[in-house]
Structure formats: structure tokens, C-alpha cells
Amino acid sequence: MGDVAIASAGLEDVALAHPNAELHLSTLPPWDQLFVSDPRLSKVISIDVRGQTQYSATLRWLKAVADEQYDLVIDLQTTDRSRLLLSCLWLIGAQIPRRAGNKAAIPYNLAPKNPSVVRHAMEQLALTLDAAGIEARTPRPVLHYSERRRKAVKKLFQDLRVEGDYAVFLPGSQAAGYLKRWGAARFIGLANRIVKLGLKHVVVLGGPDEIEECERITQRCGQWLVNLCGRTQLLDIVPICEGARFIVGNDTGTAHVAAAAARPMIVICGPTDPLRVLPAGDNVSAMQAPLPCINCYRKHCSHHSCMAWITPKDVMDRLNSLGVV
């Protein structure tokens, strides 16, 4: 989800550079849900080329793309999978004249001439766009939600009596990446500090992998904490976060989508490098412990010191320095 959110910034630059072009997007489900109301796009191709049916799905994808006879394709991520798919198009004779990617290799004929060592996906995205003659000038994800979803979020808040100032927490992560979680106990400590300063509510967001973590936080807080984990659609993240005074979260795909709201956000990092994974935008900052074992990218750890080092008081001090509390 984070990669797709970042790609939406590149999509904005493409739309600005080619205002009269017909733009299509190819992405995997369920991330096509992020573009159901996107006025920039005439079509979204969403075929799951993974899993048990990947062979037949790949054939369907190749036919769907070949039938469009595109003038230009821009690979906004350049993974091994996307390179393979585009190479298969080239091999079967479905030629797309201009093919942009982040490396000078088959199937790309547009690539950075002097690729430098880049760390963040936005930097790589800018190089790829430049190879296609497009200026990268959009600093954060751009995601469009419908008026219907805005009204649905407003009604949800009215039903739950969420009013006045509120903060948003993003306390989860994929189940396999549990080391990226700051921890329910620390989010509880931060939530209690926040309400003592006058904020009326803390809203917790998350997906299916994060329900238990969000419930742990809910059980230890008052009615002022509103748990929306599993109760919202993907694009609802943006209007919910647009109304927040600030956002605090882990390195999770949800944070990349929330960055589109352009609200002050702190992302707590430990085993992953913030220079690589931080959501895009000048509204986002990282917190990370000054330990020698940070950025280990491990899946398991016996001590989890990188997260334990950062306390709720530390986060409050950072929020204070940002002028949001």
C-alpha cells in the first residue's frame, strides 16, 4: 500500500505534464480501491498476477495491456514482477514505443542516464519521471475520495460523537512486521498524555492485521478513544486524517496513505530505515532511537530495544516542538 500511495504522487506529475492524455493505471488489488474516485484516470487495470492463478492472470494482464496500444508506459516502482510483465509484452510483439523505468535494462528504453545512489522511493520516482521528460514536483501522495465517502465519514463521526480537536493513531503494521510496532502500552501512555492537554478524542485506524493491537489500546483508555480499526474503507483514511490536529504512527502502509492529508505526522521507526521508508511530504517526520542495532530489518528480535527506547514523553516533546500540542 505504501508503494502505491507514493506512486500517486508520480501519477499527479504525469497528469500535470500531459493534461490532454488518457491515463490508465495498472495496480494489484486491493490497492485499486485507492483510485475508484480518481478524476485523473480513465481506467484502472487491476489483475492479481500473484498466487495460484498467476499464470492465467498474467495472460489476461498481457492481453488487457496489449489491446490498449499505449504510447508510453512509466513503471513507477520497477520491481522484478513489473519488469517481467513489460518484457513479456515486448517479447510477444505488443510494442509500447516509450518505456520508462529506473534502470537502463530490458524492457526500458527510457531510464536515468546517470543513476545516483538513492534511498527513498520518491527520489527514485523523480529519476524515472525525469527519464520520461516529466518534472517531479508533487511532494506527497495525491489521493481523491468521493463526496459520498466524505459524507460517510462525517456521519460516522456524528454517530460516535467525535467532535472538536482529535489526534489519529496508526498503531499497527502487517502481522509479519510486528517489530515495526511501537507497542500498545506506549500508545496508551501517549493517548492519556494527549487528552490531559485538552484534545477531546484520539481516533485509532488500522486494517485486518491490526485489530488485536487496536483493541488492546481501546481496553485501556476511556470513551474518548475511538477505535475505527476495520470500520473504514481505504480512502476514508484521508478525510479522517485531514481533520486531525496531528497523526502518530508506525512504519506502515496506512501512514503513507495518511500522508496525503498533509497534517503533521510523526512516524516511529526502529528496524527500518526512515531514509527509505518515511512517508512522503514535509508534514512528516521520523523518530528513531540512537542505537547501533537500528535499521536491522529483522523479522524477530529478543529485546526490541529500538522501540522501547522511545517513550510517550519523547513523542510528546516532539509534538510540542512541532507546535501541535
CB 102 within 8 A of CB 78: yes
Cell of residue 53, nine digits: 492463478
Q: How confident is the model at residue 53 (pLDDT cuts 50, 70, 90)?
A: confident
Res. 117: pLDDT tops 80 = no
| Residue 115, pLDDT score | 67
Q: How confident is the model at residue 257 (pLDDT cuts 50, 70, 90)?
A: very high
| Residue 79, pLDDT score | 87
Q: How confident is the model at residue 95 (pLDDT cuts 50, 70, 90)?
A: confident
- Written as one string, the DSSP assignment of 178-245 is GGG---HHHHHHHHHHHHHTT--EEEE---GGGHHHHHHHHHTS-TTEEE-TTSS-GGGHHHHHHT-S
- CATH for 147-321, options being 3.40.50.2000, 3.30.70.360, 3.40.50.880, 1.10.150.20: 3.40.50.2000
Instruction: Give the sign of the dihedral formed by CA 285, CA 246, CA 183, CA 238.
Output: negative
Averaged pLDDT, 279-293: 97
Q: Which amino acid is at 311?
A: T
Domain spans of the chain?
A: 2-131, 147-321
- Strands ordered across the beta sheet of 225-227: 225-227, 201-204, 166-170, 246-250, 265-269, 284-288
| Residue 294, pLDDT score | 96
| Residue 12, pLDDT score | 98
Per-chain mean pLDDT for the chain: 95
pLDDT digits (tens, 9 = 90+) for 64-75: 999 999 999 999
What is 2-131's CATH superfamily?
Answer: Glycogen Phosphorylase B; (3.40.50.2000)
